[in-house]
Amino acid sequence: MPVPTSAMTATHQDLDLRLISGEWPADIEGEMVISGPQVAHDLPFALFGFGVMCRLSLQPGSHGAAADRFAWRTNVIDTPSQRLHTAAPDAFMSSPTGYMGPLGFPNAANTAPLPWDGRLFATWDVGRPVEIDPVTLRFRGEVGAQESWGPATMAANNVLPFYFTTAHPVIDPERQCLWTVKQTFHASGGTQLHVVHWDGLGTQVRTWPIANGVVFGSSHTVSQTRDFLVLADSGNFKTDPGEMAGGARTVTVDDDAAVYLVRKDELLASPDGAAHDGLPFRVAPTTGHFYGRWDDTDGVRVIFEHMDRMDLGLKLEPGDLDALGRAIDPALIGFYNTAMAPSTVSEVLFDLDSGVTKQEAALRDDWTWNLELSAMDWSVAALEQPVRHHIAYQGFRPGTVSQRAVQLYGDRLGRLPDDDTPGALVSLQRGSLDVHARWDFTDLGDHITSPAFAPRPGGERGGHDGWVVLPVLSDDGFRVELFDAADVGRGPVAVLASPHGECVPALLHSAWMRNDEAPVECERLRFGDDIDESMLAMLDPALADVVRGVVDDLDDTLA
C-alpha cells in the first residue's frame, strides 16, 4: 500500500512537531511554506479542492510552539472563491476541471507557494496568483484586476473568472516584477499564450499576446534568464473534449512539446496588447518543471525535469485495476495516475543564433521513477552559477497506475517493474547531472513530497551549502526530514514527527522563505472592485446577495 491512504483521508491541522532523531542545526533560518488542496471527494480530481497553505517554522519555539517543538501551521486560504463556496455550496457543481457554477470558476490557489521579498502568494494553473499574509496565511488579494487581465479564457459570469494561467509564475529579481501567462482558446484547438506582467504595487497587470505561442497541454511553468522568458507547453495535461462530455478518456500526451523564448525588454518597450513572436524550439520528453540559468550571454540554458509518460489527465476511477491487476484501493479513487516510465532530467541549451536545441546532459535510470519535485537555491548568485539540484523521486507505484492507462498507452510504454521501488532524495551536479549523492527511502510506506532548500546564513550560494527540508507522508504519521545539502547520502541529520502520529494529507509544492522581511504596504485588489452590478444582475437575487455578503466580509476582514 505504498501511496498512503492518509494522503486522501487525513485533514489539515496545526501540529507542534517534535524532534525524534538527530540534532537540529542552530543556525538554520526561515520558514518552509507548502501548498496543498483540501482533498475534495466530491470532485473527479480530488486534488482540485480549495488551497491550504502550510508553514513550518525552522526554529523551535516559534508561533506558539513550545521551546522544543516546531510549529506546523495551516490555513484554508479564504479567497473570494472559497468564501463563496462555503456560503453557497449548492451554487457549485463538480467538473473535471474543479468546481463551476453560475458564479463562474473558483480559483483553488492550491498548488505552489511563491515568496517575494517578505510577501507570499499561492498559485494554481487556473486562476490568478493569490496574495496571502505570510504569518496568518489569510487572504490579502488576487493579482491584477479582471479589466487589466482582459477577457477570461472561458466566457461565464465573471464573478469568478476562468483564467487558464500557470502554477509557476516567476519573480524577476532585477526588474522587481512578476511574470506569468494567460491562455485563450486558439483556432487550432490549442491555447494562445499571453505574457502577463505585474509590478507588485497596484491592481493592474500588463499583457501581450505571443502570436506564435500556441500550446496544446498547459503552461505549468514560466521560467526566465536575465533577458528571456522561457515558456513551454508542459504537455502533461491535455483536455479531452470527449471526457468533458461524459465519455471515456482517449486523449494522450505528446512525445515532445513546444518551447518559446520571449525577450523581456521587447515586451516592456511595447504598448500593452502588442503582439510578439517567441523564438520557437522543441523539447522532449514533455515536461512539468524547468528552470533557466540567469546568464544567457551564450545561449539560454535550462534544466528540465521531464515527466516521461506521466499523464496528469488520467486519474484513478471506480472499478479500475492497478498495474499488477489488483483492484485500486477505494481510498485512492480520484488520485492521479502516477508515472508509467522512469523520469528524465536534462540540461538543454537553446542556441539563439541557429535555433537548435542541444541536450548537454541527461539522467534517466531504472530507479528514476516519479520525479516528484525539486529543491534549489533561488538566489540570483545561485541562478548564475548553480551547483547542486536536489530531486525527490517517489519510486514506481503500481498501485496508482491503472490498467486502463496502461492499455491507453499500449506500446508507447516499456516494461513496468513487477513491484514498488524505493523513493530517493538525490543531489545532482549542475551541468553534468552526475549523481552527487543519493538517499533511498527503503520503507515503501514513505511518500516523500516536495523538498525545499534552506541556505546556510552567510554560506556559499548554489544549492550545496545549507539544508534540504523534506516532508514525508506516511500512514504511520507525518515526518519532516532535514538533510545536509552537501551530502544528502548521509541520510537525515534530524527528523521531526507529528506529536501523536497524526497524518497530513497530500501536499504539493514547497518553498523556503525568510521570515525577517516586512511585507510591503501597497494597494491590493478589492474583491468588490473586481466585479460589477452587471454580473450580479445576471444571478438569482439570493445568490447575488451572497456575493455582496462576501464582499462586505472581506472588506471587514482586510480593513
Residues of this chain that interact with Fe ion (CB under 5 A) are 167
- Tell whether the torsion through CA atoms of 104, 106, 45 and 341 is positive or negative: positive
The least CB distance from residue 115 to Fe ion, in Å, is 16
**In 345-385, which ranges are continuous DSSP H helix?**
380-384
Partners of 148 in beta bridges: none
- 102, 90 in Cβ contact below 8 A? no
Specify burial of residue 286 (Cβ count, 10 A radius: 0-12, 13-18, 19+).
buried
Nearer CB in complex with Fe ion: 167/511: 167
The least CB distance from residue 419 to Fe ion, in Å, is 28
The least CB distance from residue 223 to Fe ion, in Å, is 12
The least CB distance from residue 403 to Fe ion, in Å, is 27
R_g (Cα) of the chain, nearest Å:
22
Nearer CB in complex with Fe ion: 167/178: 167
Beta strands 98-100 and 93-95 are antiparallel
The least CB distance from residue 64 to Fe ion, in Å, is 31
Distance CA 73, CA 13 (A): 7
The least CB distance from residue 189 to Fe ion, in Å, is 24
The least CB distance from residue 107 to Fe ion, in Å, is 16
**In 229-359, which ranges are continuous DSSP H helix?**
241-244, 264-268
Distance CA 139, CA 81 (A): 11
- 136, 192 in Cβ contact below 8 A? no
Nearer CB in complex with Fe ion: 391/551: 391
- Measured from each CB, the residue nearest to Fe ion is 167
DSSP 227: S
Nearer CB in complex with Fe ion: 167/171: 167
The least CB distance from residue 470 to Fe ion, in Å, is 17
What is the end-to-end Cα distance of the chain in Å, rounded? 48
b vs e for 139-164, b when ≥16 Cβ sit within 10 Å of the residue's Cβ? bbbbbbbbebbbebbbebbbbbbbbb
The least CB distance from residue 372 to Fe ion, in Å, is 10
Nearer CB in complex with Fe ion: 374/421: 374
| Residue whose entry in the numeric block shows the C-alpha cell 502516477 | 338
Nearer CB in complex with Fe ion: 71/122: 122
Distance CA 345, CA 370 (A): 12
Partners of 287 in beta bridges: 306
Nearer CB in complex with Fe ion: 157/218: 218
Nearer CB in complex with Fe ion: 17/373: 373
The least CB distance from residue 479 to Fe ion, in Å, is 23
| Residue whose entry in the numeric block shows the C-alpha cell 538533510 | 483
Nearer CB in complex with Fe ion: 167/371: 167
Nearer CB in complex with Fe ion: 114/167: 167
Closest by CA position to 334, among listed 9, 1, 2 = 9
Beta strands 371-375 and 357-363 are unpaired
290's grid cell: 524547468
